[in-house]
Structure 1
Amino acid sequence: MLITREMDYAVRIVRALKDGTKVSATEVARKEHLPQAITYKVLNSLLKSKLIGSMRGVNGGYYLKCDLSKTTLYDICSALGEDMSITECVRDGYDCINNRCGECILNKEFNRIQSSLNRELQKTTLDKLL
């Protein structure tokens, strides 16, 4: 997993919405200096995950639905459908020819690093970043 551009944009979008007011996608993109097309894509992912909401109409826009003190970077990754694996050999169901006996030292180390990364993402709440 890399911290993808979409993940970076998702955190920036949440930052644009943190004041609790409804903000248009155009305003979010302008405020955070994001390309508008990707802003819409990320907004849709955040909507599907119910981290944000939207309202149509003259007074409409996007708004924050999640509690920033309980929402983590891991939640953002999950909302975007990101593959959080640092390498394919740590993915569930991956059949590595070098680890068929479960004795691959690299696999054990990659799994340790993956677990550590997941813990860090799960404990980093958005209120600490925004």
Structure 2
Amino acid sequence: MLITREMDYAVRVVRALKGNTKISATEIAKKEHLPQAITYKVLNSLLKSKLVGSMRGVNGGYYLKCDLTSTTLYDICIALGEDMSITECIRDGYDCVNNRCGECILNREFNRIQKSLNRELQLTTLDKLL
């Protein structure tokens, strides 16, 4: 997994919402210099995961529902449905001909790195970034 553009945008969307009561998607896109179409896509993912809420109407807009001190980069990855695997061979259900007996040193090392990456993403709360 790389930090995708969508994940970067999601963190920027959350940053735009920080400290505001409600803000429109158009305002978020303008404030963070994001393409409007992707802003809507990211907002939909964040809405589904309940990290963000929305309200319709004249005084409507998007707002944060999550606590930035406990919401992590890992939570953002999950909300966006990102594939967290650094390589295909460590995905559940992947049948690697080189690791059928669990003896592949590469697989073992990739799993160690993946666990370390996941741990770091889980330790990085959004309040540290914003």
Q: Give TM-score, length-normalised by structure 2.
A: 0.99
Q: Which residue of 2 aligns with 1:11?
A: 11
- After superposing on structure 2, the runs of 4+ consecutive aligned residues of structure 1 that deviate more than 6 Å are none
Query: C-alpha distance in 1, partners of 2:94/2:69?
Result: 35
Q: Which residue of 1 aligns with 2:127?
A: 127
Report Cα offsets for 1:85-110 as digits up to 9, x if no partner.
Answer: 00011111111000001000000000
Counterpart CA distance in 2 for 1:89 and 1:123 is 25
**What do residues 37-66 of structure 1 show as CA deviations (whole Å, max 9, x unaligned)?**
000000000000000000000000000000
Provide the rounded CA distance (Å) in 2 between the counterparts of 1:122 and 1:94.
24
* Deviations 1:52-82, CA, capped at 9 Å, x for gaps: 0000000000000000000000000000000
Distance in 2, Cα, partners of 1:8 & 1:37: 15
Partner of 2:61: 61
Q: Distance in 2 between matches of 1:65 and 1:113?
A: 32
Q: Which runs of 5+ in 1 are unaligned?
A: none
2:53 partner SS: strand
Q: How many residues align?
A: 130
Q: Structure 2: which 5+ runs fail to align?
A: none
Report the equivalent of 2:36: 36
Identity of aligned residues (%): 88
Distance 2:70 2:99 in 1: 37
Equivalent positions of 1:36-115 (< 5 A) are: 36-115=36-115
Between the aligned partners of 2:20 and 2:26, the Cα distance in structure 1 is 17
Distance of 1:101 and 1:48 partners within structure 2: 40
1:20 Cα deviation from its structure 2 partner: 3.6
Q: Deviations over 1:15-51 (max 9, x none)?
A: 0001041000000000000000000000000000000
How far apart in 2 are the matches of 1:94 and 1:123?
28
